[in-house]
Amino acid sequence: MSRFVEHMLGEQEDILLFTHRHWLSLFKMIFFEITVIIFITTGIVLVAIQQIKNEWLWVLFVIPAVSMIHDILVFYNHQYVITNRRVLQISGVINKHVTDSSIEKVNDIHLNQSVWGRIFDFGDIEILTANEVGDNKFKMINHPIRFKSALLKSKTEIGVEVPSPKMDVPRLIKELGELRDQGVITEEEFAEKKKKYLSDL
């Protein structure tokens, strides 16, 4: 975990989950550079076998190598953090860009996971908030189900449990059921919160 993330935390704010995009996202970013490097390396080997001067080929090798290093740095500096107060999306190698949403204002959490996403454990998370600004989208996030569960747990622990008129009570009960099935909350806590939701209909 970077020091930048630690400096972003407030008093009595604890990190519940820290993650990145899935490694396939990095592979998509550097696939072209890898292909170019392979071709250049092959050319250098063939030229060396023929005992021809190949200094200029090494110059061509540097260009995709530098580009790949840049993409790797961008990937590792794109971070997702869930605390007991906020959800943060941090990007940028030198110039940092931070988007955060208060847990209290999170109204809905959408998980979109394709067949390949289920196989390799990645997916897209969309967080809908009460702000007029809109929503936050987390593309190809690593372990999306774990991410959603941590977010729901944080939301439950701070007491965001009474639904507003715009909130979908059946969906909230379904999410509580998922937390119960995952062992995050007990059967008694599930029954109590379900009863409270139904009483507010």
pTM (2 d.p.): 0.64
Q: Which of 39, 57, 75 is the last residue of a domain?
A: 75
End residue of a domain, out of 53, 75, 97: 75
Q: Is 184 exposed, middle or buried (0-12, 13-18, 19+ CB in 10 A)?
A: middle
Q: 54: domain range?
A: 25-75
| Residue 82: strand pairing partners | 17, 87
Residue 169 lies in a domain: yes
Domain annotation covers residue 166:
yes
Let me know if residue 7 belongs to a domain. no
Within-domain flag for 185: yes
Kindly state the average pLDDT of the residues 187-196: 80
In a domain? residue 38: yes
Q: Confidence class of residue 161 from pLDDT cuts 50, 70 and 90?
A: very low
Whole-number Å distance between alpha carbons of 38 and 29:
16
SS (H, E, C) the chain: CCHHHHHHCCCCCCEEEEEEECHHHHHHHHHHHHHHHHHHHHHHHHHHHCCCCCHHHHHHHHHHHHHHHHHHHHHHCCEEEEECCEEEEEECCCCCEEEEEEHHHEEEEEEECCHHHHHHCEEEEEEEECCCCCEEEEEEEECHHHHHHHHHHHHHHCCCCCCCCCCCHHHHHHHHHHHHHCCCCCHHHHHHHHHHHHHCC
Q: Total domain count for the chain?
A: 2
Residue 69: its pLDDT value, please? 92
pLDDT of residue 165: 45
Look at residue 127 and tell me if it is in a domain.
no
What is the bridge-based pairing of β-strands 79-83 and 122-129? unpaired
CB 83 within 8 A of CB 14: yes
Last residue in a domain, options 75, 104, 133: 75
73 falls in which pLDDT band (50, 70, 90)?
A: very high
| 117 in Cβ contact with 145 (< 8 Å) | no
Work out the average pLDDT over 23-51. 83
Question: What pLDDT, on a 0 to 100 scale, did the predictor assign at position 162?
Answer: 40
For residue 17, tell me if it sits in a domain.
no
The answer to the question of residue 118 being in a domain is no
Other CB atoms closer than 10 Å to residue 49's CB: what's the count? 8
